[in-house]
Structure 1
């Protein structure tokens, strides 16, 4: 049989939306897409669209969770003595998925869910002597800010040595807060030049997932999104699941930027030799920041805003941009920049609030525009959050 040289075209979210919507609505017995499936969803993201449904075969999904747990155990993330508090959102796959994977890895799990108050979560950490915390970044920041406000004798009883975060990329300001609040081996983490700009390293098994790093298409380049980049260089992350035989995921353009690397020597020395040949390191930098959004007559590039918001003296833990029409003023657009700051009070270099507001306005070149506002919020719940993973969407366009 002659082998075809044709390459499978990329699977994109926009096309997947329409196909999945059609399949999900077809309840005929012949439609196997809806049968014996585990369901999860992903949010509409920047487009604020309807969540997209992901269906995987139930039996395959159980095997995938077990293999994830085996990998977590193999790389030493979880030990049998670990007690883990899981503060992921209940439903939308996160709580049960991480619980199963960490149990397969050998840990003991307490499922708090996303609705447990910070007070009760802290009490649980103390009462059961939990040393491991897992949750989405926003919930971790919310809990850590509460713990930082407690008296020293109470705070000292929270002894977290491991944190596993999901759902959002971890900003350097957020990483710094977690290390500061949880006085533990977390502070022994040494960042290199490549991970110091909001990148994160992940080890994956090449037998479970095929990863491609491809050149990115942009308005300034005619190069298509299908050319592989050299090992170590960054590009668009394209994924193919080698475990999903039903409803397969083939060459899916994730929308994230990253780079591939060989497993570091230090990691190789800590992992069973028979596993090492199959493991690789994927460095993820987050969503593709080449895009921009327009407001009024100006275009704002996301990567420029991202770098500005990471200015150390700003002390910004989380931020959100809200774009809408000004209420009561026909045809006029408004922009609101919501900011959550580090309130631990330990950083003398952080700018006063009025200076921060002035700097942000200057950076957006809208010093005197009355329809541009900077709002300092007190809690992560003051942000608009997605209806699926309850993530803080960086830009919300209501126009």
Structure 2
């Protein structure tokens, strides 16, 4: 390991994985104190492990082991010792699950992501960041991102998600904050408040940067932020409870991809090993035979598979995270700004979102998620946030009728179509006619409070099936 640069060799990660219950028949993971012995024994035996010899890891099987290890209080259970506990946001609509990481490894990973933000010029020494990320209900985005920003050289004000907007605005002005951060929803809510202020009050704010997480930003959201704060530099960070924070998106990337149905992120291949495998790995005849499946060519879409090189004690190995992705080289515009020594290690992963081959049906018609997502990003529609909910009529689970509800928050300023026009477009897409309109409702919201949210991360879930 390079001094000051925190990552583990793939060989060491595979060695620990070979004796970890996630990937073997071992009862317990090793403790922190047992790691050196396990690694030394592997070197003495000269036992060569290959990544392809390990099966793909899926969320359902991984969390079966996690559920068992989380509640086993045996002193032999290394999973419960010296750990940092993170939790999924419950963003898929299911119950949140905890994921334990060695606490030292977690701090090292945050330091490395902060270094990436600094190298890419996203966060610079002298930046003052006000973050509105969530905390509480076991969710830890606030402490995660504040430590990442500090590792990049910034000073951080932790406003959190519940601080009143007028107090946030006063703090931005008082402390000369130049960078705001949060989920996209947090940034939009703040912008909506700032838009109501007097010209004099708005001129007291000097925000030049915004960094968002948790979801992709839409053209309408980006345009709205620009209309309020001016030509700010927009950037992003991607991560998860399982992998931790692992890639960044620079303002150049955000500017060029916001009108697409994907987002580009820079990752360091010393910190995470990524494979993009064909969609066939999720077909029944391929699920148990993954070792000889070749990765797709660079630039071609497939399912993203992650192996962390920063998580040793509880390895994340060949994990199918659910995202559709493709690998790309760094653009020349970004290469020109980076130090020569890191160029061989920095690459671009293009994230298209969750596997959108899945569709849902209502009133005998199938609707593709990708098509729905594309519609909701039409700039003239001005949609800042949306939610589609399938539920039983009158919320009666014994009722056989499936009710479709669409909730929308939009920016009505600028060159956006009228609410009447948008209503016609949405009803047309969902094929709402006289014979089924009693099972359909379109709600226009005044703020984010009208959305259903995940239980821990408090994220707006774009699609919810409450019938299951």
Q: Given the two structures, how large is their TM-score scaled by the length of structure 2? A: 0.79
Match runs of 1:135-214 below 5 Å: 135-186=182-233, 196-214=259-277
Classify the secondary structure of the residue corresponding to 2:194.
helix
In 2, the alpha carbon distance for the partners of 1:248 and 1:189 equals 33
Q: Deviations over 1:33-73 (max 9, x none)?
A: 11110011113333x22212111001111111111111111
Distance 1:207 1:321 in 2: 39
CA distance in 1, matches of 2:114, 2:343: 16
Unaligned runs of 5+ in 1: none
State the 1:185 CA deviation. 4.3
**Quick check: 1:15 aligned with 2:81?**
no
1:285 is displaced (CA, Å) by: 2.1
**Equivalent residues of 1:358, 1:367 under 8 A apart:** no
Cα distance change of structure 1 residues 222 and 171 upon mapping to structure 2, 3 Å threshold? farther
Alpha-carbon distance in structure 2 between the residues aligned to 1:271 and 1:89? 32
Alignment of 1:1-399 (within 5 A): 3=48, 6-46=52-92, 48-91=93-136, 92-186=139-233, 196-217=259-280, 226-327=293-394, 330-343=399-412, 345-347=413-415, 350-368=416-434, 369-399=437-467
CA–CA distance in structure 1, aligned partners of residues 401 and 282 of structure 2: 28
Superposed CA deviations along residues 86-136 of structure 1, whole A, max 9, x for unmatched, are: 110024121111111110110010000111122221221111111111111
- Post-superposition Cα deviations, 1:5-52, rounded to whole Å, max 9, x if no partner, equal 653221111112211111111111111111110011113333x22212
1:167 and 1:389 in contact (8 A); partners too: no
Change (3 A) 1:185 1:138: closer
Q: Is the 8 A contact 1:261 1:282 kept in 2?
A: yes
Give the Cα–Cα distance (whole angstroms) in 2 for the partners of residues 138 and 328 of structure 1: 27
Match of 1:391, SS?
coil
Retained in 2: the 8 A contact 1:216–1:223? no
Shift of 1:218: 8.9
Cα distance per residue 1:246-294 (max 9 Å; x no partner)? 1100111111122212222222222222222211122222222111122
Distance in 2 between residues matched to 1:182 and 1:10, nearest whole Å: 45
Which range moved further: 380-389 or 153-162? 153-162
Q: Which ranges of 4 or more aligned residues in structure 1 deviate by more than 6 Å?
A: 190-193, 218-225
Shift in Å at residue 355 of structure 1? 2.0
Compared with structure 1, are the counterparts of its residues 248 and 311 closer, same or farther at alpha carbon in structure 2 (3 Å cutoff)?
same
Q: 1:192 to 1:149 in 2, by over 3 A?
A: closer
Preserved contact between residue 90 and residue 457 of structure 2 (Cα < 8 Å): no
| Gap regions ≥5 residues in structure 2 | 1-45, 235-250
Aligned to 2:9: none
CA distance in 2, matches of 1:184, 1:195: 15
State the distance in 2 between where 1:227 and 1:395 align: 33
Q: How many residues align?
A: 395
Contact 1:204 1:282 in 2 (8 A): yes
Q: Is the 8 A contact 1:51 1:388 kept in 2?
A: yes
